Structures are given as C-alpha cells and as structure tokens.
Amino acid sequence: MQAERDLPARRFLEVAQEDEDEAYKYVLAIGEGSGGIAAILDNSLWLGFYMSGGIGFSNTVAAAALSEVLNDFSKELIELSHRYTQGVRKVPPKWETIRIMINSVIQYMMESYEKFPALAEFHWGGAHRVSIIGSMGAGSAGMLTGSSTMGLWGGYYAIAFAMKEGWLRTGWAGQEVQDHVGLPGLCSFRPEEGNLAELRGLNYPMQTFTAAHGVLRDTACYAAMLGRGGAWCASPVVKVAFADPHLVFDFKHPRLSIAKACMRQFMPAGERDAVLPAH
C-alpha cells in the first residue's frame, strides 16, 4: 500500500491533536489502501476465487469496502482524538484504555446504520457490515497505539462483542464465530497460533478469515504503521518495490486503477507477443 506516500511520517495521534484536516489525510490513506488493495486481493481474489471457486459472492463485500463509507466513519475517530487526547503523547497499548475509544466509534457506526436505512440496504448482508465495523475497530486501535496486535484485538472486539451485543446477531451463520476463535491466540507468537500480524497470511491454523476479515487484518497492519509514524509495515524492500510511480498499476491510488480496470482501460504490461496487441 502506497496511499500515504506523500504524507510526512508522523504519528497519527500527534497530527490529530494539531490539525483535524491534516489528520483526515492519513485516514483517507487507510481508506484508499485497505478499501482498495485489501478489498480486491483478500475479498474478491483470495476468498472469491481460491476459497469459494469464483462464485462471486464476495464481490459485494469488496464493493462495500471500496466505497468511501470508511472515510466518513473515520471522521468520528479524528474528532474524538482531537478532543480527548490533547497533551497525550502516546496511547499505551492497554485494553482498558483503548476500549473506550473503540466503543464510541462503533456505537456511532451502528447508530448511523440505523439512522440511514439506505446505507444498511447497501451493506445488505452481515458480512458487509462486519467488514466495515471490524475494519474501523482495527483501524482505530492501530492508529491510536501503533500496535498491529492491538489493531486485531480492536477489530475482533468490535465484531464479537460490541456489534453482537448491540444487534444480537451479526449475520447468517454467525459472522462473529472467527472473532471468538481468533481472540484466544491473538497475542501468541507460536506460528501455528498467532505470530506478528504483519507476518500472518489469510490461510493458517487457529484462525479463519471470511469475506469480512481479510480487510480487517490489512487495516490493522496499515493503521499501526501510520499510528507509529513508520514508513513500512513489514519490510522496506517490499515497500520500495511498489513505490515506483511509473508502474502500470498506481499503488498510491488503487481505487482509481481498479476502476480503470473495470472499464477495460488498462493495457497489459510486458513484451508484445502473438496474444498481446502492440502497446
């Protein structure tokens, strides 16, 4: 993800305390990266093709993440951070501290779904709302603490407890099952149980990721990077490899590139052959 490429490498909390408008740019970066690359790679490609054989049911979940609804919900986090964290240099990665902020953000989101029926109809399935609410929980915790582990904790809590207690159900077949399964091994560093969030894949023991949860994991890692003012999530080599602005796919503006692909405006990259036209 390169959406924050032109932003100063500063801690989100520091930026939010000084200028809400500037902090919104960092939030937009998360929405662009997680709602763009993560939605397509994890939901449409990995889950839609590899896990479900290409039946396409996860495409609507990707569409929910690709929209700008994450950006709108994130304004609540910026307002809370600006109002209540003045003078706080660093939010400790402790659950009793971060839970208050997550509860406020998730409550605002759930009230918005109830206030605007058209939004609830757009995110018509449990997986849609789980994806958005879980991503906001993960993003809020990650950006405030700079910890991807705390980001996952916030995402799982937002779905398994806050959302479940407020609406009694999260979707068909219990969309929060994997959140309960994931919480016990969350802080484990045994490879078969946990490991660092940045080193996790979507297919490993003691964890399942459905149509909603791939974006949650990616958001936790990306938000934690912005929260601590870092320049990369897991590896500077990977970060630099995709930073070239001359690449056919613009990783700084993935939503724009995805839209161009949907409109068939891309030409294949690489050498010409009998199949590829001249370009």
Give tens-digit pLDDT for 11-52: 999 999 999 899 988 888 888 887 778 777 777 777 777 766
Report residue 138: phi and psi, to 5°. -65, -45
- What span, in angstroms and rounded, lies between the C-alpha atoms of 203 and 51? 10
- What span, in angstroms and rounded, lies between the C-alpha atoms of 211 and 134? 12
- What span, in angstroms and rounded, lies between the C-alpha atoms of 199 and 54? 26
The amino acid occupying position 176 is E
224 has a pLDDT exceeding 90: yes
Q: Range with the lowest mean pLDDT among 19-28, 72-81, 119-128, 154-163?
A: 119-128
Q: Range with the lowest mean pLDDT among 39-43, 187-191, 261-265, 275-279?
A: 275-279
Write the class of the CATH domain 12-230.
Answer: mainly alpha
Residue 219 · residue 151 · CB < 8 Å: yes
6 has a pLDDT exceeding 70: yes
* pLDDT digit string, tens, across residues 173-186: 666 777 777 777 77
Average predicted confidence (pLDDT) for the chain: 81
pTM of the shown model: 0.87
